[in-house]
A and B are shown apart, each in its own frame.
Chain A
Amino acid sequence: MNGSVRAWLDARPWVWSFGAALVVWLVTALVVQGRGMLETLAVALQFATFYAIVGIGQMLAIASGPGNIDLSIPGVMTFAGYVAMGLMNGGNAGLAAGIAAGIVIGLAAGAFNVALIQGFRIPPMIGTLAAGFVFQSMAIAYSRTSHAAPAPLLVSFSAARVFGVPVIALIFIVLTALVSIGLGRSVFGRSVLATGQNWRAARLAGLAVRRTLGLVYVISATLAAVAGILLAAYSGGAALDMGTDYLLMSIAVVVLGGTSIAGGQASPAGLWGAAILLDLVVTMLNVMRVGAGLRYVVTGLIIIGVLALAKGGEQAS
């Protein structure tokens, strides 16, 4: 009995993050004596969506093997967010152009990363980090010439709800489900996991390892651009520090969600559990009237702690 529960849990690493999120939600409920609990959850889901969008890309990168990681996410988010808002310039006329430009920036940034990693064979960690700073600096330069305001349509879309549930959350939950199915069923998805388990074996088996890895970085940067556009719209405009937290958060939702940091395995559902958990922790500390400083400390310690425990479990099994 105990063994079968364990096996069930081992096959579903995302359960932990949802369980932890539930606990934090209930603790918050105790503190506020149950007031507005569904609203708390809806707001958490709203912000969790931004974490989950970048998390999907980061998860694909981390799942494709040791050394693969995308540290350019904050830079891409900020630059794409700024240019998209700049073209919209507060009106609906520039909506399509803004979104298109933002996504093109994501695609181009991804291609640039791939050129550094595969063309110049710079380790992904350092290549994407350096590229991220270049994108950030482009955003800084661009921010001097443009006051970035979102199109009203996009603002209402980013905050819209159906039966109390944020629309963008629903959209990206569906996308996450597609990614989950794709990882198991599509050639690309299985190539990502095979490359992550052993890229030499994957290459000898005839998989297009280079193309797979390249596509992973392009997808990651493009999703970062989408997250940047939506976040900028939701916050009423782009800001130079809007991406800062996402460097850690994109990795945190992947790791806390049950994806192995060693690669070769992915847990898309866990992205949402972890993203909601991280957001609910902040909410809980807020209702406890804890300052920004302690919030950062607790978030950092949770991430390190869970990572240490999860890796320990892996070694034991």
Chain B
Amino acid sequence: MPAEVTAGLASGVAAGAGGRVARRATALRIGLPAVALVVMLGVIFAMQPRAMSYFGLTVLLNFTLPAIFAAMAQMAVIAVGDIDLGIGPFLSLVNCIAATLLATHPALGWLALAALVVAYAAMGALIHVRRLPSIVVTLGASFVWLGLALLVLPSPGGTPPSWLPALLAWRPPFLPLPLLASILLAGLGQFLLMHTSYGVVLRGIGGNPRAIARAGWSLLAGRMALYALAGTCGVLAGLALTGLNTAGDATVGAQYTLISIAAVIVGGGEFVGGIVSPIGTVVGAWIMLLAGSLLSFLNISTDWQLSVQGGILIVVLGLRALNRWSAE
């Protein structure tokens, strides 16, 4: 066989293997969370058939809304190749403002929440202009959020404006609110980030910033837009959390840092390259929440919740690594 034919064959085989690995990676990225979700729901429904009803799902998915919004916020930051380790305390701050200022001085309360979104955009600008590691800046910001939350509400308490709990207690026809909101948010996120031209540009900043800059787009504006989006989703997450808890607490959001990161990654996101999936992120948020419910259904102490959530993250990333191994 002539040398060039062998070489051609070899490269063809290599391309075939590469394609297979890429396909398997995609299948893993999309299929794994879907399968995991179905299995978890299956186990829960098998153990507690009543959970399948409208009311059961409402209870089971009670804290879905803050988790999804927090995960969306994290997704916006991960899309640009950064990470936000301050989103949990940020939720606490919004929670404290919503349980105090928003009820007593609504105009001032909304102004404060708007200022928080601006602060997020400014944080994105600072990270971009000074080329700072997002991990340190957002960790530093987490102290600022926690401190402000303690200033607003030194000890747990407060009362949110009455419309907020009422909104979260709304029972829409046919579909329970958490389910309805999940579907709408996944669809909206998917449309904005995947099917609008600016959404493609924003994801490109994480994937190939040089190409985006060459094409004439401002990387600074893009990063600020994504951070502002993160801030907005963070505010919505904090408001949803307040509506469910009907009180303020400066430490209530802490767990959402892990939940949000894990939701994005489990839902198919990658730390490099601006690879994120809004639908996957919503599924990821569900998985993280249901992991907690599953523990209580299986009579395992909730002490292990952090282990399970961290463990799911490790297993998912480990499976992706195995797939890459088999490619080599």
Contacts and interface: CB of A to CB of B under 8 A. Distances in A.
B306 A133 contact: yes
A69 B258 CA distance: 17
A130 B314 contact: yes
Interface string B246-272: 000000000000100110010000011
Interface string A301-317: 10110011001100100
Contact of A130 (B133, B137, B313): B313
A59 to B, nearest CB: 13
A311 B130 contact: yes
A141 B303 contact: yes
Interface stretch (A14-22, A89-97, A114-122, A211-219): A114-122
A295 interface: yes
A247 B139 contact: yes
Contacts of A71: 85
A71 B304 CA distance: 19
Q: How large is the interface on B (under 10, 10 to 19, 20 to 34, 35 or more residues)?
A: 35 or more
Contacts of B258: 129-130, 133
A140 interface: yes
A296 B311 CA distance: 31
A69 B317 contact: no
A251 B147 contact: no
B141 interface: yes
A315 B265 CA distance: 33
Interface stretch (B149-157, B200-208, B222-230): B149-157
Contacts of B130: 307-308, 311-312
Nearest to B150: A293
A299 interface: yes
B318 A297 contact: no
A83 interface: no
Contacts of B152: 293
Contact of B307 (A123, A127, A134): A134
B71 to A, nearest CB: 15
B307 A126 contact: no
A307 B140 contact: yes
A308 B128 CA distance: 11
B132 A307 contact: yes
The listed residue with most A CB atoms (<10 A of its CB), out of B132, B262, B314, is B314
Contacts of B189: none
A38 interface: no
Contacts of A248: 139-140, 142-143
A122 B140 contact: no
Nearest to A298: B147
Interface of B: 83, 85, 126, 130-133, 135-137, 139-144, 146-152, 154, 258, 261-262, 265, 271-272, 301, 303-307, 309-311, 313-314, 317-318, 321, 324
10 closest A-B pairs by CB: A296-B147, A300-B143, A293-B150, A297-B147, A293-B151, A137-B306, A133-B310, A137-B307, A300-B144, A303-B140
